[in-house]
């Protein structure tokens, strides 16, 4: 019955080898599977005769060999049932905002956090806070726009801590400025792309050989719901996140057999220092950094291909079902919410005044009726 598989030729052999690779079976094994060797210890016993050395019984040493193989040699040993306990997680942009909150949340789940950012003092404060609560964390000053810095940091982490399980690509830069006020600011587009896209790609490329060797790795990309909605005023920011989404989708299709996976989180607006210049000029309220960190934790634990919000899904559907209407709505948002003073190059006396305290609002997901959330889970690819 197995003969057609073992003796496959041409396209059938290609398909057979593809299936074997995805199961973690070397395709070459099919060429020798019919071999029936006999293993004996006669030669060894003869060589040891008269030396006082005796060949031990198989049952006395086999369990030890098996445990050593399972703990140190099994190529799939990195894949365990517990999602975060004892894991090693790199988080970029960990000095503030989503990255900082995510580092604290990940450490509370029992993982060891490698916090990366340019601000060394802020990282030291983060590590001190995590350790004060019994967590494990280490700070690494790193500029993701610098290839040498990324390469040095990754080598340092692997050299000192042996391995990395997860990467959270959170480091980012956002600029809210209309394109008519950006015609002489090409550098805005270049510097946002340098951090949001090329910085994340650098991190993945630096870790990919290590993950292929361990046959395990997972990346959580902090993307934006704006990629789905295509919000005006973000022509320098949203294309970088769209590019990162596409990069992750393409690479995920290539690394599936290596058990290297990706999650793109289409994050809603989050109350972080990055949005301070335009905090009063957004049509939706921002969620807290802690709520955003909970979405990151979900990406690490459940590993869906993407995590969306109901509003983002609705906007994406609208762009397909009613593109003209969607564009008119977005144009009204463009007209109704002008550029910030900083984006227009205007200096205001109250520009640096902190916002008045507000009562916390429920997140968009929490405000969705439970039956609707359950219905969303029935649709493949929708993760709210």
Q: Which residues are catalytic?
A: 237
Report the distance separating Cα 17 and Cα 115, nearest Å: 40
Alpha helices in 49-136 (DSSP H): 58-68, 97-108, 120-132
Q: What residues are paired with 265 via a beta bridge?
A: 222, 307
User: With 0-12 CB in 10 A as exposed, 13-18 as middle and 19+ as buried, what is 342?
Assistant: middle
Please state the separation of Cα 244 from the chain's center in Å: 11
Local structure of 264: helix, strand or coil? strand
Q: Which residues contact 35 (CB under 8 A, 6 or more apart)?
A: none
Q: What residues are paired with 90 via a beta bridge?
A: 114, 167
Helix axes 200-214, 147-161, angle to 10 degrees: 30
Local structure of 332: helix, strand or coil? helix
Backbone angles phi, psi at 44, to 5 degrees: -65, -45
- Whether 226 and 309 have beta carbons less than 8 Å apart is answered as no
Q: How many residues are recorded in the chain?
A: 384
Helix axes 120-132, 97-108, angle to 10 degrees: 30
Element (H, E) at 375: helix 370-377
Q: Tokens at residue 378, please?
A: 């029935």
Report the distance separating Cα 254 and Cα 204, nearest Å: 13
């Amino acid at each position: 019955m197995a003969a057609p598989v073992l003796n496959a030729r041409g396209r059938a052999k290609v398909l057979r080898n593809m299936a074997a690779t995805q199961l973690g079976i070397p395709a070459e094994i099919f060429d020798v599977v019919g071999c029936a060797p006999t293993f004996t210890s006669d030669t060894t016993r003869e060589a040891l005769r008269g030396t006082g050395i005796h060949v031990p019984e198989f049952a006395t040493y086999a369990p030890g060999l098996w445990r050593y193989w399972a703990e140190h040699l099994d190529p799939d040993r990195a894949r365990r049932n517990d999602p975060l306990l004892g894991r090693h997680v790199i988080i970029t942009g960990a000095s503030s905002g989503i990255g900082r909150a995510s580092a604290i949340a990940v450490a509370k789940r029992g993982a060891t956090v490698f916090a990366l950012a340019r601000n060394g003092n802020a990282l030291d404060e983060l590590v001190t806070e995590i350790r004060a609560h019994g967590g494990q964390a280490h700070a690494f000053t790193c500029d993701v726009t610098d290839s040498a810095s990324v390469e040095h940091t990754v080598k340092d982490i692997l050299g000192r801590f042996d391995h990395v399980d997860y990467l959270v690509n959170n480091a980012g830069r956002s600029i809210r400025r209309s394109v008519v006020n950006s015609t002489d600011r090409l550098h805005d587009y270049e510097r946002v792309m340098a951090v949001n896209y090329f910085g994340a790609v650098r991190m993945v490329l630096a870790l990919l050989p290590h993950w292929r060797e361990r046959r395990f790795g997972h990346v959580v990309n902090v993307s934006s719901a704006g990629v789905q909605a295509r919000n005006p005023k973000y022509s320098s920011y949203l294309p970088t996140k769209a590019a990162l989404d596409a990069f992750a989708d393409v690479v995920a299709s290539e690394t599936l057999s290596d058990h290297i996976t990706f999650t793109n989180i289409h994050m809603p607006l989050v109350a972080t220092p990055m949005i301070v210049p335009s905090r009063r000029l957004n049509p939706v309220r921002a969620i807290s950094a802690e709520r955003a960190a909970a979405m990151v934790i979900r990406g690490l634990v459940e590993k869906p291909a993407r995590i969306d919000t109901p509003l983002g899904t609705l906007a994406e559907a609208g762009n397909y079902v009613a593109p003209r209407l969607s564009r008119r709505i977005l144009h009204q948002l463009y007209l109704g919410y002008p550029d910030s003073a900083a984006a227009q190059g205007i200096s205001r006396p109250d520009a640096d005044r902190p916002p008045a305290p507000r009562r916390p609002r429920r997140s968009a997901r929490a405000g969705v009726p439970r039956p609707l959330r359950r219905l969303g889970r029935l649709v493949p690819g929708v993760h709210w």
